[in-house]
Chain A
Amino acid sequence: MATEATGGGLEFHPMDQFVVRPLFGAGEVHWYTPTNVTLWLALTALAAIALLVLGTRGRAIVPNRAQSVAEMAYGLVHKMIEDISGKDGLRYFPYVLTLFMFIVFGNLLGLLPGAFTVTSHIAVTGVLAMAVFLGVTIIGFAKNGAHFLDLFWIRSAPLAVRPILAVIEVISYFVRPLSLSIRLAGNMIAGHAVIKVFAGFAAIAAVAPVAIIAVVGMYAFEVLVAFVQAYVFTILTCVYLKDALHPSH
């Protein structure tokens, strides 16, 4: 596929970093085998818990650094869900905050050299997206009953175009989990692969300075992307939640 750096003894494939390997030994991967995915999923959860529980343990009036970061994350998600989903969306705030912290830490920990990016796997992001999709659908039917189908049958549109709009709305509704999961995984795969491709060029002496500067630039950009993708995932969850709570507008 892409570059293979030759000379300098640095040879790797840009997609090698996404291979799932057993943590101990080199046997086959079964469903119970502890793999690098298991390790980094656990570290992601631990990092989120460490920031939110240990960081705010002091409950200081003038917060220290960890506490103010935790408060900022809390405030960001709280404001987002209040602005977009409305006051009654705040019941689902704990889940949305968990989602945001998990994705943001999964993305950021993946940027550590030698780390494994759990959010680059569609198996991981697919579960997150399906949980949001199924949860929102169940909430929608539980809150509104058959009224929830108004989401697809738009009463403000002229009667003649309503069937066409209904088809489009149904398609766009069922493509949600796909676009949510592929967006997050695709952004992570692409960013990390680009960094690795530039790192491959660094083995060639003539272009090494350019390649190293490019790696630094891409890395900084990826830190931004890691945050923005977590933000986008969370904000779309809030939008879907709004649709479930108030389907008629």
Chain B
Amino acid sequence: MEGNIGELGQYIGVGLTAFGMGFAALGVGNVAGNFLAGALRNPSAAAGQTATLFIGMAFAEALGIFSFLVALLLMFAV
């Protein structure tokens, strides 16, 4: 085994950003689950709120995408 320690740290860091994906998944799942819980209690109001659902998902997802950005920066810009 050979290689320099900087590269080792770089790859470990890129791997660690995968945690961001997991937490973003928790966030998106939370949005969808709560929407479903609310929608089943009052199905007539659900149709009007799908836009809000997608906005909420997009915001939750954005932070996960930032971890992907950090991975890209570590791989190609550092």
Q: CB within 8 Å of B: which residues of A?
A: 80, 83-84, 179, 182-183, 186-187, 190, 228, 231-232, 235-236, 239
Contact status B65-A235, CB under 8 Å: no
Contact status B58-A183, CB under 8 Å: yes
Q: Whose C-beta in chain A lies nearest to the C-beta of B48?
A: A83
Q: Fill in one digit per residue for B48-78: 1 if any A CB lies within 8 Å of its CB, else 0.
A: 0001001101100110011011000000000
Contact status B58-A235, CB under 8 Å: yes
Contact status B68-A186, CB under 8 Å: yes
Q: Roughly how many angstroms separate A235 CA and B68 CA in the complex, as a whole number?
A: 23
Q: Roughly how many angstroms separate A232 CA and B52 CA in the complex, as a whole number?
A: 11
User: Chain B contact residues (Cβ within 8 angstroms of A): what range?
Assistant: 10 to 19
Secondary structure of the B contact surface, majority rule? helix
A144 to chain B minimum Cβ distance, whole angstroms, is: 22
Contacts of B61 in A (CB 8 A): 183
Partner of A179, one of B54, B55, B57, B62: B62
B3 to chain A minimum Cβ distance, whole angstroms, is: 15
Q: List 8 A-B contacts (CB under 8 A).
A: A84-B51, A179-B62, A179-B66, A182-B65, A182-B69, A183-B61, A186-B65, A235-B51
- With A232-B58, A235-B58, A236-B58 as given contacts, are A179 and B51 in contact (CB-CB < 8 Å)? no
Contact status A83-B51, CB under 8 Å: yes
Q: Which of the listed residues B54, B58, B61, B69 has the most CB atoms from chain A within 10 Å of its own CB?
A: B58
A176 to chain B minimum Cβ distance, whole angstroms, is: 10
Q: Roughly how many angstroms separate A232 CA and B54 CA in the complex, as a whole number?
A: 7
A75 to chain B minimum Cβ distance, whole angstroms, is: 14
Contacts of B57 in A (CB 8 A): 232
Q: Roughly how many angstroms separate A239 CA and B68 CA in the complex, as a whole number?
A: 25
Contacts of A186 in B (CB 8 A): 65, 68-69
Q: Which of the listed residues A83, A186, A231 has the most CB atoms from chain B within 10 Å of its own CB?
A: A186
Partner of B66, one of A80, A182, A231: A182
